[in-house]
Chain A
Amino acid sequence: MMTTSEPDDLFAALTEIDNETTARLHARLIADAEVEGLLDVAYRTIDSPVGPLLLAATTAGLVRVAYQREGHEQVLEHLAATVSPRVLRAPQRLDPVAREFDEYFAGRRRSFDVALDLQLSKGFRLDVLRHLPDIGYGRTETYAQVAAAAGSPRAVRAVGSACATNPLPVVVPCHRVILSSGSLGQYVGGPEAKQVLLTMEAAA
């Protein structure tokens, strides 16, 4: 049936929104949100030798580093559910962290010097995470050693799950925890990523 123009056609002039406009409005929203204290969770992604990493920060500090295999979208949804739904792509807040990652992967940085927000970890898992930075660059500890250092020598399996759920991999170096047999064991970023990090640290 022939009709006069559909409303969609009538508004064709309205529908053109170019990328430049979208980017400009987004940047303005981020700036306004920061001024108003509404940017609860800022995030960006970076490229790295272990694949794209998602970085997310609250006003308190870096709250999440996620490997691609964890599913960046799911991680953001989890942050929205547990920290705040005010989650926005705002690279600027993460510029200093991103720079430290670049230096680390270039072999020019041995530890991270950024504020951390550990609110995603509780109890014994938090105790484990607090101990991990004591394992120096290029060194390793076994799960049993970490359990002892965290105050519960028999909680070896719990150390494993603390590492598996580490919200801040690479920065909080759970990759330096290996099996007493000497094999590398599991890793939140996958065994290959653990191998890459440890090889890189051993060579530097």
Chain B
Amino acid sequence: MKPFEQIVAEHGPTVLRVCRAILGPVDADDAWSETFLAALRAYPDLDPDANIEAWLVTIAHRKAIDAKRAEARRPIAVERLPEQPAEVQSVDSGLWDALKALPHKQLLAVAYHYVAGLAYKEVAAITGGSTDAARRAAADGIAALRRTYVHFEGETR
């Protein structure tokens, strides 16, 4: 088994991207931290042949569900206002809005397939439903993003 430090180095950035895609930039840090702490706890019992990326995304998926439930329980009065960390403001906020507007199933399929790079079969194992349904949800999600989110490609390349 690899030292856990290596797991953090190899998969930390991808898991953070997935957390950002699902939860937005502000809550992503908490979800990442909870995901890797839970992963560290369970790591010695992990099947050595397991797909580590899929395992981590599965944990992140549960942590994101927990975060959303906690969010729902929060009184509306303290709904988060734009007190975001400075580094987040530099990130294109249009993408967050576009992701947030996706139906939840599509958002998850897009995050797990396109951001985490998991196969549709692995995506389906995490979100429930069939492999075909995961493939369709990802395709629909990407198509919707292309319609709603205009990326300034001309300026950057």
Interface residues of A (CB under 8 A from B): 4-5, 7, 9-18, 20-22, 24-26, 28-29, 32-33, 36, 38, 41, 43, 76-77, 79-81, 84-89
Contact = CB atoms under 8 A, between A and B. Distances in A.
B17 A20 contact: no
Among B5, B21, B114, B142, residue most surrounded by chain A Cβ atoms (within 10 Å): B5
A5 B146 contact: yes
Contacts of A13: 91-92, 95
Interface string B8-33: 10001100110011000000010011
A9 B153 contact: yes
B114 to A, nearest CB: 4
Contacts of B41: 36, 38
Interface in B25-61: 29, 32-33, 36-37, 40-41, 43-44
Contact of B43 (A12, A29, A85): A85
Contact of A11 (B16, B21, B29, B87): B21
B106 to A, nearest CB: 13
A33 B115 CA distance: 27
B64 interface: no
B16 A25 contact: yes
10 contacts: A4-B146, A5-B151, A13-B92, A16-B91, A17-B13, A22-B12, A26-B8, A41-B3, A85-B2, A87-B3
Given A14-B115, A17-B13, A77 B4 contact: no
Interface string B102-129: 0000000010001100000000000000
Given A13-B92, A76-B5, A25 B37 contact: no
Nearest to B21: A14
B4 A85 contact: yes
B5 A14 contact: no
Contact of A10 (B20, B29, B151): B151
A81 B3 CA distance: 8
A14 B142 CA distance: 15
A81 B1 CA distance: 6
Given A10-B151, A14-B115, 13 more contacts: A13-B92, A13-B95, A14-B17, A14-B95, A16-B91, A17-B16, A25-B33, A33-B37, A77-B3, A79-B3, A80-B3, A80-B4, A87-B5
